């Protein structure tokens, strides 16, 4: 296995991991350990290039620093990615090889489940390193974080609806849901139970067919979901989908979803604000997953109580962000960043 350190002006540590024997090529990025050990999931995707994978891991790890700080967790920000199709190229040998690289960081980075990974994969990784969470079993095992992630997004979506429409009631509201993976599906269930009308899109046609049958969802092509007319857009797939090309085509009044790094750039948050589209900062909305995982990293015995407390706090933070944004006529993502930076400054001064 080959570990190469990549110089970075923005991150504490970035490494490239490769193993010819297993076909492994991936990256681990530690953005900050100021608040505690860096924590963030491991995702596997068929990236178009190593540069694309590196850019993703840098953006995601930066987002994890802000997500963990916003959630009030004593954790820093990190992320890991593996290049490859998880359905075709993932193997126990490949995961074990990557786990050795995680172990070499000696606890500076804790990994967990993300796109293309499962609790069973985390169990494979745990055979080679202790610095892994999201395990399916064990004393502090937190399992699949998807239901908790979806619950936090649902809370954020209701909070956003209250600020945008004057009520958190979703009956009769239309939600355009991009992505029906684990998190997206759980969110769809919650939205359906709340009376929302769903418009869905996913690269997996079977998932769309199931949503149509289970929820009466309207199905549109993945290339159309960002331009449909709806009350709320809930992005729950890849990042960077709110950009100079997609924002002018939006026909929604609010955006609240679970995808990481939804804004391609801070300027896109300003563009949404100018159009009167209320944006729920993603790293506050989707903090449920890392809250769930944190119970394992921090060895929390009362997992249910800890998760409930932190989810309620995240919803209160979202409410404060959207209230301040309205009062000051400032884009919500800027308010969210202000709050996080204040928390980090307070931690550094302590």
Paired sense of beta strands 76-83 and 24-32, if any: antiparallel
**What angle, 0 to 180 degrees and rounded to 10, lies between the N-to-C axes of helices 205-215 and 182-193?**
20
Catalytic residues: 79
CA atoms within 13 A on the CB side of 110: 24
Classify burial at 284, counting beta carbons within 10 Å of its beta carbon; exposed 0-12, middle 13-18, buried 19 or more: buried
Task: Count the neighbouring beta carbons within 10 Å of the beta carbon of residue 302.
Answer: 10
C-alpha distances out from residue 194 to 81, 136, 197, 215, 242, Å: 35, 29, 9, 11, 26
| Token pair of 160 as six digits | 């956003």
C-alpha distances out from residue 285 to 74, 157, 158, 161, Å: 18, 8, 11, 13
Torsion of CA 325, 331, 337, 342, to 10 degrees: -40
Q: Which of 236, 225, 192, 229 has the alpha carbon at shortest distance from 210?
A: 192
The CA angle 37-41-47, to the nearest 5 degrees, is: 130
**Distance between CA atoms of residues 179 and 230, nearest Å:** 16
b/e burial code for range 57-81 (CB count within 10 A of at least 16 → b): bbbbbbbbbbbbbbbbbebbbbbbb
CB proximity list for 272: less than 8 A, separation 6 or greater: 242, 247, 250, 255, 278, 279, 331
**Distance between CA atoms of residues 83 and 19, nearest Å:** 12
């Amino acid at each position: 296995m080959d570990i190469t350190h990549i110089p970075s002006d923005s991150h504490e540590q970035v490494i490239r991991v490769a193993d010819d024997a297993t076909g492994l090529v991936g990256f681990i990025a530690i953005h900050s350990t100021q608040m505690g050990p860096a924590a963030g999931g491991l995702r596997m995707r068929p990236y178009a290039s190593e540069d694309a994978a590196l850019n993703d891991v840098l953006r995601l790890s930066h987002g994890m620093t802000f997500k963990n700080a916003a959630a009030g967790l004593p954790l820093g920000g990190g992320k890991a990615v593996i290049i490859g199709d998880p359905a075709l190229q993932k193997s126990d040998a490949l995961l074990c090889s990557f786990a050795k690289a995680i172990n070499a960081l000696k606890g500076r980075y804790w990994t967990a489940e993300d796109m293309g990974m499962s609790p069973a994969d985390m169990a494979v990784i745990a055979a080679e390193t202790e610095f892994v969470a999201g395990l399916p079993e064990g004393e502090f095992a937190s399992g699949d974080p998807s239901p908790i992630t979806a619950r936090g997004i649902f809370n954020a979506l209701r909070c956003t609806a209250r600020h945008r429409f004057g009520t958190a009631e979703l009956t009769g509201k239309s939600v355009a849901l991009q992505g029906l993976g684990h998190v997206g599906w759980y969110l769809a269930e919650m939205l359906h139970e709340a009376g929302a009308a769903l418009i869905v899109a996913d690269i997996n046609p079977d998932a769309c067919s199931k949503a149509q049958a289970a929820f009466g969802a309207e199905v549109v092509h993945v290339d159309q979901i960002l331009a449909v007319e709806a009350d709320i857009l809930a992005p729950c797939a890849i990042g960077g989908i709110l950009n100079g090309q997609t924002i002018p085509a939006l026909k929604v009044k609010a955006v609240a979803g679970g995808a990481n790094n939804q804004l391609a750039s801070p300027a896109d948050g300003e563009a949404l604000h100018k159009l009167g589209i209320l944006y729920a900062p993603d790293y506050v909305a989707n903090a449920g997953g890392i809250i769930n995982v944190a119970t394992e990293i921090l060895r929390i015995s009362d997992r249910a109580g800890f998760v409930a407390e932190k989810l309620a706090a995240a919803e209160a933070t979202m409410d404060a962000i959207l209230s301040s944004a309205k009062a000051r006529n400032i884009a919500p993502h800027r308010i969210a960043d202000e709050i996080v930076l204040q928390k980090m400054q307070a931690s550094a001064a302590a």
